[in-house]
Amino acid sequence: MGKILIVEDNDTFRHTLRSLLRSRFPLMVIEEAENRREALQKTNDFLPNLILMDIKLPGETGLELTKQIKDKFPSTIVIVLTNYDFPVYRAFAYESGADYFLGKGSSTAEEILELVDSVLHPVTSAPVGEARPALWSGGLKGFGLMETLSEKYSVHPNLQMGKGFVHSTLWFLINQG
């Protein structure tokens, strides 16, 4: 069925998200982590197919953690799920290697479930006869966007920034929030 790791420091949101996933995918194995150390340990031991990653975590951003995980496990799909639903964070997320980006406040439960389903079941989740687009790869490192999902999941493919600017701006924005 698949294995999911939820990396989220807010207990209430993490447990709610787990319950939501369990309601749609009762056979799925779901693990949770609330910080970097736990997330890295569970990624190494559990080897999830999919990680739902928050941006603001204790001690390190979820984007730094995403980069570490994607460097070691490039086939693991990472969906950034955050309250920081701004274009600059989308660019940071994709530069860090995230495959998808969802805003907690702007995404419905059904949209989250549809995205998880399309990631874990790419052939069966598409309606019969609908073409499944290939993963896009380019300046922002490959990220997949299904045609059936809203434009809010995308970032303009021509957007590119230098790493020094991205990392210092990211640190400033997250630590000011």
- pTM for the model stands at 0.71
pLDDT of the residue at 16: 93
77-82 β-sheet, strand order: 29-33, 3-7, 50-53, 77-82, 100-103
* The amino acid at 67: K
pLDDT of the residue at 33: 96
50: exposed, middle or buried (C-beta count within 10 Å: 0-12, 13-18, 19+)? buried
Lowest mean pLDDT among 5-14, 30-39, 148-157: 148-157
Would the pLDDT of 158 be above 90? no
* The amino acid at 134: A
pLDDT of the residue at 52: 97
Average pLDDT over the chain, rounded to an integer: 75
CA 94 to chain centre: 9
- Give the integer Cα–Cα distance in Å for 44 and 40: 6
pLDDT band of residue 123 (cuts 50, 70, 90) is: low
Would the pLDDT of 122 be above 80? no
Asked if 66 and 93 count as a contact pair (C-beta separation under 8 A), the reply is yes
| Cα angle 96-17-58, degrees, rounded to a multiple of 5 | 50
Domain ranges of the chain: 3-176
Please tell me the class of the 3-176 domain. alpha beta
